[in-house]
């Protein structure tokens, strides 16, 4: 079945994906951020479901999670907020969440709600690929969602091939083994991993995340992958201006 993620991958290179935490900086900012990012040139959006103990996130995203939870953001409220988003936004949207909030909501119910509001995919960083295949893949595919799985420099070639075999979309290439926003050796780590993956002749395209903070680092990862994901740098920029609109416009202007 048709999916916006596959359509985007088929027609575009240098894909700019932006991550932000739902309910941050303010509880009702979520849909406004989505609309403004779509308007200012983002190709793909990752909407983070806030969780008290997010996996692999650096301090910026951890703090945004804490603030969003304090603001009152929940999975149920997020689905309510996104109920009419497809009336104005047509770019692919992925829900990024730790496994725990999804299980609390009910895994199939979560997928069903994603389908209802026309979300295109999931990223669940702490869901091992073997567990996904055994317990959840059938559910995800039944609702025409794409499950995006992370691979890191620590992943074995065997595991990477397993991820590739069970992916229909793109593979999330983690540029290094550091947390988000924290890598000090970004370029050399990324280059080594990118060349290793290229030699593996994977069937799915790669989009790179972790350590991308501006146009320069985005352009660097696009040499070896289909696009790049910016999270911490964007989340950090959101409260820096008088309004969310100005903050997004200022951040996104560098990519024009």
CA gap 21, 48 in Å, rounded: 4
Q: What are phi and psi of 186, to 5 degrees?
A: -55, -50
Please identify which of the residues 29, 36, 46, 164 carries the catalytic annotation.
46
For 13-71, strand residue ranges (E) read: 15-21, 44-48
CA gap 128, 193 in Å, rounded: 20
29 is catalytic: no
138 is catalytic: no
| Whether 92 contacts 229, CB under 8 Å | no
| Whether 225 contacts 15, CB under 8 Å | no
Could you tell me which of 207, 206, 96 has the C-alpha nearest to residue 147?
A: 96
CA gap 194, 221 in Å, rounded: 9
Please identify which of the residues 29, 57, 120, 189 carries the catalytic annotation.
57
Q: How far apart are the first and last CA of the chain?
A: 32
Residues classed as catalytic: 46, 57
């Amino acid at each position: 079945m048709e999916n916006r993620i596959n359509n985007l991958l088929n027609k575009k290179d240098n894909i700019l994906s932006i991550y932000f935490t739902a309910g941050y900086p303010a509880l009702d900012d979520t849909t406004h951020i989505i609309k403004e990012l779509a308007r200012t040139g983002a190709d793909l959006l990752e909407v983070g479901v806030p969780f008290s103990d997010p996996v692999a996130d650096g301090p910026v995203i951890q703090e945004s999670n804490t603030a969003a939870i304090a603001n009152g953001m929940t999975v149920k409220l997020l689905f309510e907020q996104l109920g009419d988003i497809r009336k104005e936004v047509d770019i692919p949207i992925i829900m990024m969440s730790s496994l725990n909030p999804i299980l609390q909501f009910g895994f199939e119910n979560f997928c069903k709600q994603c389908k209802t509001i026309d979300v295109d995919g999931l990223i669940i960083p702490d869901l091992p690929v073997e567990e996904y295949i055994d317990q959840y893949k059938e559910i995800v595919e039944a609702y025409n969602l794409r499950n995006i799985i992370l691979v890191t420099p620590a992943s074995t070639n065997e595991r990477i091939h397993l991820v590739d075999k069970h992916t229909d979309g793109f593979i999330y290439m983690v540029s290094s083994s550091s947390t988000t926003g924290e890598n000090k050796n970004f370029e050399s780590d990324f280059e080594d991993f990118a060349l290793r993956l290229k030699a593996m002749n994977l069937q799915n395209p790669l989009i790179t995340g972790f350590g991308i903070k501006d146009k320069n680092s985005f352009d660097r990862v696009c040499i070896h992958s289909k696009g790049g994901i910016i999270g911490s740098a964007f989340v950090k920029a959101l409260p820096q201006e008088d309004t969310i609109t100005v903050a997004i416009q200022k951040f996104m202007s560098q990519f024009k």
